[in-house]
Amino acid sequence: MSDSASDAVSFLPLGNAPQSSAIGLYARATAGFDARLDETRALLREAHAQYGDGLLQSSSLGAEDMVITALLAELQLPVAVATLDTGRLHAETLALIPQIRAQYGIEVQVFTPVADAVVHFVKTRGENAMYESLALRKECCGIRKLEPLSRMLAGRSAWITGLRREQSANRAEVPFSEPDGQGRTKLNPLAAWSWADVWYFIQTRAVPYNALHDQFMPSIGCAPCTRAIAVGEDFRAGRWWWEDENAKECGLHKSKSNEELKSGATA
Ligand code: SF4
């Protein structure tokens, strides 16, 4: 692990992170919310009408994805909901799976990496190799995220994500609908939502959410690659914080060929 990554990890260890309330901090009714909500509902209805069983929600179990799952339940759209359990997620993230079942009666499909590939990577590269180089971090994301994602999406014609334009400069142009580069359509029904919108919806509908959002973690991924952010930092500053700003995507939302996805070469 590099010194900078090590320092950052010890700066805000999870158990000692400051407590807050994400709802108290972020939830606000802002102008245009009702119109954005109506637009999102219409997009989800249209997507289900168009793609039927070919449609799937790929959920990270983050706040945005919890909003989408709640909307699918509210609209009674029988859309499959799936997530990736990389083997490095926080317990607080995994705890949402039974909560979704209890609150909405939705059974989240869980996709995991190939065990042999993980064992080989850890044995040869080390458990925390992601801190050593960008190439090793991408290799880890390739094994733990991209390969299972390719199985998750097999046989589907469209998938729903929680991407929003406001999340980062890299996502500033996110459209409501786009080709994913592998013959499917990727739908981003919350593209125009603000962070205040997300939390206003969560507050007013009592949507379950990751307890780590109350510990200054707006964007939550794997435990070794997520830290709390400080006041004034960017939304995704706590993800792969030791890397250059332009590298901070895992590849799940780039338009890549199947071979690239499987190899994780360009995550
Ligand atoms: S986010 Fe970190 S732990 Fe998770 S797959 Fe990528 S490099 Fe590995």
The pLDDT mean for the chain works out to 87
Catalytic (active site) residue 215? no
Q: How far is CA 34 from CA 68, 127, 140, in A?
A: 15, 46, 40
> Residue whose CA is closest, atom 4 of ligand 1?
222
| 3-state helix, strand and coil shares in percent for the chain, rounded to the nearest 5 | 50, 10, 40
**Distance, CA of 84 to CA of 92 (rounded, Å):** 14
**Ligand 1 atom 3: residue of nearest CA:** 222
Give the alpha-carbon dihedral of 214, 233, 265, 130, to 10 degrees.
-70
Question: Which residues line ligand 1 at a C-beta cut-off of 6 Å?
Answer: 86, 88, 130, 137, 140-141, 144-145, 221-222, 224-225, 250
Compute the distance between CA of residue 188 and CA of residue 70 in angstroms, rounded to an integer: 15
Are residues 103 and 208 in contact, defined by beta-carbon separation less than 8 angstroms? yes
What are 203-224's pLDDT values in tens digits?
999 999 999 999 999 999 999 9
User: Closest ligand 1 atom, CA of 140?
Assistant: 8
257 Cα to the center of ligand 1, angstroms: 20
**Reported pTM:** 0.86
Under DSSP, the state recorded for 197 is: H
Alpha carbon of 99 to ligand 1 centroid (Å)? 24
> Among residues 86, 59, 97, which one has the least CA distance to residue 189?
59
Stronger pLDDT, 43 or 169, i.e. the higher one? 43
The pLDDT, as a whole number, for residue 34 is 97
pLDDT at 251: 64
Catalytic member of 44, 149, 250, 252: 250
Distance CA 44, CA 35 (A): 14
User: 123-134 pLDDT, tens per residue?
Assistant: 999 999 999 999
pLDDT at residue 195 tops 80: yes
| Rounded distance between C-alpha atoms, residue 28 and residue 203, angstroms | 9
User: Separation of 114 CA from ligand 1 center, angstroms?
Assistant: 14
- What domains, with CATH codes, occur in the chain? 3-263 (3.40.50.620)
DSSP class of residue 239? B
Closest ligand 1 atom number to CA of residue 221: 1
pLDDT at site 232: 82
For residue 76, the SS3 value is coil
Asked whether residue 16 carries a pLDDT value surpassing 70, the answer given is no
Q: With contact defined as beta carbons under 8 Å apart, do 197 and 36 qualify?
A: yes
Write down the pLDDT at residue 17.
Answer: 45
Query: pLDDT, tens digit, for every residue of 141-190?
Result: 999 999 999 999 999 999 999 999 998 788 889 999 999 999 999 999 99
